[in-house]
Every structure is written in C-alpha cells, then in structure tokens.
Structure 1
Amino acid sequence: MRKVLTVCLGNYCRSPFAALALARRGAAELEVRSAGLIGKWEGEPANESMITAARRLGFDLTAHRGQQITLDMLNWADSVLAMDAAVLESLRTICGEASERKLGLYLGDRDVPDPMGKDQEAFNACAVLIEAGTALHAGRQ
C-alpha cells in the first residue's frame, strides 16, 4: 500500500479534501493523510465553504481536524503532494535533498488555486479540480 501525504498551507481547505478524494479513489492501494505547513487551524474542522463544496460532490469532510506537518509525517509518506509551488518549495526546504524524489505537485505541473477569501464558487471549482486530480495518483504504483 502506497502512503500519500497531501499538503497545503493550513490543512484547512485543499489538502483535507485532496486526502479524502484520493482515499476514496484509491481505497485499496493508497493510505492517505493531510497536513498544513502552519498550525493556525490545528485541531479545527475544515473550512465551512470547502465542507459545502465537498458535500456537493458526495464527500463528507466534517470529520477532518487540521494538523501541522511533522517530520514523522514526511518520513511516513512514500509521496508528498503539495497543492501549489510555494508549498512545494517550503517542503523542499524542510525535507532536504534526501527526500526530493518523493515531493511533487498534486496536479503534476500546475497549482491548485487557494480558494481562501473567495466566494463559494471558488471553493466549488477548487473541489472539482482536486477530485479530477485523483486520476493522476490512484492506480499508480
């Protein structure tokens, strides 16, 4: 079973939904967790607008509680998927060259736009993009 860690800035919007969507799509082959670079929302539920966007796609994000990334999480993961280039750059600094091979962008070559501070439609679009991105990771060994 491949272990995947999804990471965004706060583990409040994008990475929690990405983990949920990946877990559903790759249920038999993936173990998925999520974390954020900062601990601002540690222990807190996901953003209400992302919960609503997830619900529209048939996902229940209400059980999520935010976590700040730790070295143990990074060591646990076979793949660490950043939601955007800025997060990826921070992960490279944290991990160093030894873990470079396991780091990448969730969408492969582009960012998942951060919907924070935007309207519900931005969260809905973000969730659709994240769900579509699961195809890049499920079924891959």
Structure 2
Amino acid sequence: MQRVLFVCLGNICRSPMAEALFRQAISKSGSAIQVDSAATSRWEHGNPIHEGTKRILQARSCPTENLVSRQITTSDFERYDWIIGMDHQNVKDLRAIAPKDAQKKIYLYRSVVPQKETEDIPDPWYTGNFTQTEQLIEEGIPYWIKKIEQNQ
C-alpha cells in the first residue's frame, strides 16, 4: 500500500481539502492508497479545518470531523511514500527539514498536471477563494492516482 501526505503551511485549508477529496476519489476507484495531511508550521496545531474548507467538503459529503491540524514530523518522512506540497514555499520548507534519503519523496502538487507543472495552489487563507482551491485540487487528483498506482 502506498502512503500519501499532503502538506501546506497551516494544515487547515489546502492540505486537508486535498486529503479529503483524494480519499473520496480513491474510495470510488478502489485504489489501495493511505492518505493524510500535515503542516510545515505549528501555527494552527490542534485546530479544526477552516470554515471555507469545511463548507466545500461538506457540500461534497466528505467527512470533516477528523481533520485537525498537525505539524509534519521526522517519522512522516519515513512513513510516507509521497509527500506533496501545495506550493513552492511548502516544498522548499519540506526540503529544508527532510532527511537526505526522503528528498526524492517530495513533490509539488501541480507537478503532475500537464502544462501546469510549475504552478502553485494559492492559499485560500489569503485569497478567500476556496472554490478555486477545490477546482485546482480536483484537477490534479486523477494524475496523482495514476502516478501513484504506476509506481507501486
């Protein structure tokens, strides 16, 4: 079984949304992939997801009660096969703290989307646009499922 960890700055907007939407997609496809999310910072540690993320997920019938912010740990770099940052700064922060042998596990979320490989998913904490976040995450899900399944 492959293990995927989505990561953003606070783990209350983008990465938990990616976790929930990805989990929903793999439950429908039958893929054997374990999914979680984390933050690069401790700013929101222990807090529930942002209301904007919660509204999006509830509208899609995704469970939200277990989505609580946590900071990435050293053991996450060992445990997860795929560590996916939502923007370039997240990837930079992950690379700065990851052990040398875990560097190859770190990816930018949009790196698998054709012609969008270098683009970030903007932080809706700042933009206020949670629908855009949902659309950008949704766009990448089939590409990530395919990539992960091909590398098992």
Is TM (by shorter chain) over 0.5? yes
Write out aligned runs for 1:20-35 (5 A). Answer: 20-27=20-27, 28-35=31-38
In 2, distance between residues paired with 1:79 and 1:117?
26
Matching of residue 95 in structure 1 with residue 102 in structure 2? no
Give TM-score scaled by structure 1 length: 0.90
Q: Which range is displaced more, 110-119 or 12-21?
A: 110-119
Which consecutive unaligned segments of at least 5 residues does structure 2 have? 112-116
For residues 120 and 19 of structure 2, the distance between their equivalents in structure 1, rounded to whole angstroms, comes to 16
Q: Quote the Cα distance in structure 1 between the aligned partners of 2:106 and 2:76.
A: 13
Q: Is the 8 A contact 1:55 1:61 kept in 2?
A: yes
2:108 to 101, 105, 114: 105
Aligned-pair CA distance for 1:22: 1.4
2:46 match = 43
* Larger displacement relative to structure 2 (27-36 or 11-20): 27-36
8 A Cα contact 2:45 2:69, kept in partner: yes
Q: CA RMSD in A?
A: 1.5
Which structure has more relative contact order (CA 8 Å, sep 6+)? It is: 1
Q: Distance in 2 between matches of 1:69 and 1:93?
A: 12
Q: CA deviation at 1:96?
A: 4.2
**What is the rounded CA distance, in whole Å, between the counterparts of 1:6 and 1:74 in structure 2?**
12
Q: Which residue of 2 aligns with 1:74?
A: 77
User: What letter corresponds to residue 123 of structure 2 in structure 1?
Assistant: D
Aligned equivalent of 1:64: 67
List runs of 5+ in structure 1 lacking aligned partners: none
- Give, in angstroms, the shift of residue 56 of structure 1: 3.0
Percent identity over the alignment is 29
